[in-house]
Amino acid sequence: MSPETSPPVEPGLPHQRRLLAARASHWRRTRRLTFVLMTVWLATGFCTVFFARELSRITVFGWPLSFYMAAQGASLVCLAIIGVYAWRMRGYDRGLADALARDLKNGENGETGDGVAQ
C-alpha cells in the first residue's frame, strides 16, 4: 500500500502498545519469580519430611538435617523467600514505573516512541 492509501495510525496506539508490553513483561517476571520461590518452599517444606530418613544421615551443628529443617531450617528458608520476593519485586516495580514514566515523558514531547515527532 502506498502512504496515501494506508490507514491512518491512531496517535495513542504506539503508546498503548508499549504500555501493554511493559505490563506483560512485568507480569511474566512476577509469575516466574513466584513459581521459583514456591518451588523452593515446596522443596524445603514437603521434601524434607518425605525424605526425612535419607536426610537424617547428614548432620548440621550436630543434629540430623531432617530435624534441623523441621525445627529451624524451614522457618529460616521461609523468611529468606519473603525477603527475596520483596527485594526482587521492588526492582521489578521500579523498572515498570521507570518505563511508564519514560513513555509518558515521550508522549508529552509529542514523540511516537521511535524518535519521530507527531
Cα gap 51→62, rounded to integer Å: 19
Give pTM, 2 decimals: 0.70
Q: Residue 61: its pLDDT value, please?
A: 85
pLDDT per residue of the chain (118 residues) written in tens, 0 to 9 = 555 565 554 566 777 888 888 899 999 999 999 999 999 999 888 888 888 888 889 888 888 888 888 888 888 999 999 999 999 999 999 999 998 888 888 766 655 545 544 4
C-alpha cell at 88: 526482587
Q: Residue 15: its pLDDT value, please?
A: 75
In the chain, how many H helices and how many E strands? 5, 2
Torsion sign, CA atoms 58, 63, 67, 72: negative
Q: Residue 96: its pLDDT value, please?
A: 92
Torsion sign, CA atoms 29, 33, 36, 42: negative
| Angle, helices 74-108/13-42, rounded to nearest 10 degrees | 180
Total length of the chain: 118
Cα gap 9→15, rounded to integer Å: 12
Check: CB of residue 90 under 8 Å from CB of residue 60: no
Cα gap 43→38, rounded to integer Å: 9
pLDDT tens-digit map of 87-100: 999 999 999 999 88
Nearest Cα neighbor of 89 from 4, 26, 46 is: 26
Q: Residue 5: its pLDDT value, please?
A: 60
